[in-house]
Amino acid sequence: MVEFSPDSEAFRSDRAGIFRALRDEAPVYRSPDGSFIALSRYDDVTTAARNWDTFSSALLGEHPGLELMNLVDPTAHTDLRSNISRAFSPQRVLDLEPEIRAIARSLIAELRSNGSGDLIRQFTRPLTTRVMGTLLGFSDEQVTLCQSLTDAAMYEDPDVTAFVPLIQELVSDHRASPTDDLTSALLGLGDDGGEALSESAILAFCFGAILGNNCTTMNSLSNGIWLAADHPEQWRELAEDPSLLPEAFEEMMRCEPPTHSSQRVTAEDVELYGETIPAGTLILLLWGAASLDERAFDAPERFDIHRRGDQHLALGWGTHFCIGAALARLEARVAFEELVTAFPRVSVLGAPERLPSPWQWGFTSLDVAFAG
Ligand code: HEM
């Protein structure tokens, strides 16, 4: 009997095997304590992610005083998301490229002088933290505080209340002295005659963006380097032709996605494989299991930078598809371009320890040796 518990040692040591067993033996998996049902096959996960009226996010409950986008269904969700997207626009993301590159280069210069180091402490963590600091307009002290809050959030189910004082301070600083960063743009959304964004929606979005970037994007980069070190011939190919990097990053996310699952609640009874899932059941959509489904991908456990893997589910699917996808992809392209150019050879030292986190897949540290 397969057992799925994302913060167990058994899961950390055989994630792909447990996902396979779930898909093959228990596509409607009931947790032993009956608290949730997990869906793991590609078709089931994508169908549920599209059908928000049956698999609801709003029924997950509210967070008092915070309009969290992932706890709202259409049409309220569509309105909120399109309003935020006016400030968090594609152009605002693209404009970050020179700053991301400058940060990546300065971190690589330090790594290069040593020839080896902990890639998380010395590269992926400071890179993503500083990028979010630039995007939202944090002071240096706020960046430091934000980082310690995110570090703590990685090890448990993230609690927005820990972040509220920091984000409130960020918002009041920006109300007093607006600049041209994202926080000011969110605060100014009503100025052009469009709909203004409530302070609770701004707080909630900043929280989601901080976690999405400082935990999830960070882990996606570390997981990618780990895969690259495990497949040196593919890393060498990327060094020879960095234009392959965007596709390679999609494949990295397909194979080692940082977010295990997202939650929904059934709004009505659902029949699946002859079983009835009652209305009101907590559902986990297992993005990682579905992205390794042999019903959807050929030899899914093989890492192949030439695969057209853009149908993976690491960034979600449907209504709540990751709003930060363009930012994550930009950070990854720039980070990997700089890394692969500086270090065409990379190897992992020792056996890195997996992150004991209920919601993130990554490493606590990743000691690597680089060669130019
Ligand atoms: C590789 C990096 C990332 C991964 C793997 C990732 C993963 C995901 C996934 C799986 C979802 C779907 C949640 C659901 O269906 O309930 C999601 C949504 C979301 N992500 Fe990301 N994310 C990443 C980066 C980011 C970044 C950089 C941001 C910064 C803005 C961000 C902010 C959000 C927000 C606010 C949502 C909620 C969207 C909604 O409910 O409409 N994420 N992300």
**Per-residue pLDDT tens over the stretch 6-24:** 889 999 999 999 999 999 9
**Per-residue pLDDT tens over the stretch 233-261:** 999 999 999 999 999 999 999 999 999 99
- Cα 324 to middle of ligand 1, angstroms: 6
Closest ligand 1 atom to residue 314 Cα is: 5
**Per-residue pLDDT tens over the stretch 279-306:** 999 999 999 999 999 999 999 999 999 9
Q: Ligand 1 in contact with 92 (CB < 6 A)?
A: no
- Cα 366 to middle of ligand 1, angstroms: 24
- Contact (CB, 8 A) for 225 and 125: no
Residue 98 half-sphere exposure, CB side, CA atoms within 13 Å? 1
Residue 81 contacts by C-beta under 8 Å, 6 or more apart in sequence? 69, 323
**Per-residue pLDDT tens over the stretch 168-203:** 999 999 999 999 999 999 999 999 898 999 999 999
Closest ligand 1 atom to residue 329 Cα is: 1
Nearest CA to ligand 1 atom 22: 212
- Contact (CB, 8 A) for 256 and 228: no
- Cα 250 to middle of ligand 1, angstroms: 15
Q: Ligand 1 in contact with 320 (CB < 6 A)?
A: yes
Q: Which of 129, 291, 322, 329 most suits a substitution to test ligand 1, by most atoms within 8 Å of the C-beta?
A: 322
- Contact (CB, 8 A) for 15 and 361: yes
pLDDT score recorded for residue 372: 65
**What is the distance in angstroms between the CA of the first residue and the CA of the last residue of the chain?**
48
- Cα 299 to middle of ligand 1, angstroms: 27
Nearest CA to ligand 1 atom 20: 322
Backbone angles phi, psi at 71, to 5 degrees: -115, 25
- Contact (CB, 8 A) for 368 and 349: yes
Sketch out the chain's domains with CATH numbers. Answer: 9-371 (1.10.630.10)
- Contact (CB, 8 A) for 314 and 259: yes
Tokens representing 303? 């890492």
| Distance between CA atoms of residues 68 and 211, nearest Å | 13
Nearest CA to ligand 1 atom 40: 70
Tokens representing 179? 């600049």
**Which of 39-76 are b and which e, b meaning 16 or more Cβ less than 10 Å from the residue's Cβ?**
bbbbebbbbbbeebebbbbbbbeeeeebbbbebbbeee
pLDDT score recorded for residue 56: 98
| Distance between CA atoms of residues 278 and 294, nearest Å | 28
Q: Ligand 1 in contact with 323 (CB < 6 A)?
A: yes
The arithmetic mean of pLDDT across residues 88-97, rounded, is 98
Output DSSP code: residue 116: E
**Per-residue pLDDT tens over the stretch 48-82:** 999 999 999 999 998 888 899 999 999 999 999 99
pLDDT score recorded for residue 304: 97
Global pTM value: 0.97
Closest ligand 1 atom to residue 321 Cα is: 12
**Per-residue pLDDT tens over the stretch 111-169:** 988 888 999 999 999 999 999 999 999 999 999 999 999 999 999 988 899 999 999 99
Backbone angles phi, psi at 299, to 5 degrees: 35, 65
pLDDT score recorded for residue 371: 76
| Distance between CA atoms of residues 128 and 200, nearest Å | 24
DSSP track, 206-269: HHHHHIIIIIIIHHHHHHHHHHHHH-HHHHHHHHH-GGGHHHHHHHHHHHS-SB-EEEEEESS-
| Distance between CA atoms of residues 124 and 121, nearest Å | 7
- Cα 153 to middle of ligand 1, angstroms: 16
- Cα 315 to middle of ligand 1, angstroms: 6
- Its sign, for the CA torsion 316, 320, 321, 325, is negative
Q: Which of 67, 96, 131, 216 most suits a substitution to test ligand 1, by most atoms within 8 Å of the C-beta?
A: 216
| Distance between CA atoms of residues 199 and 204, nearest Å | 9
The arithmetic mean of pLDDT across residues 325-345, rounded, is 97
Nearest CA to ligand 1 atom 18: 322
Q: What is the mean pLDDT of the chain?
A: 96
Nearest CA to ligand 1 atom 7: 315
pLDDT score recorded for residue 290: 98
CA proximity to 243, closest of 337, 130, 139:
337
347 φ/ψ sector (left φ>0, alpha ψ -120 to 50, else beta): beta
Q: Ligand 1 in contact with 283 (CB < 6 A)?
A: no
Q: Ligand 1 in contact with 260 (CB < 6 A)?
A: no
Q: Ligand 1 in contact with 262 (CB < 6 A)?
A: yes
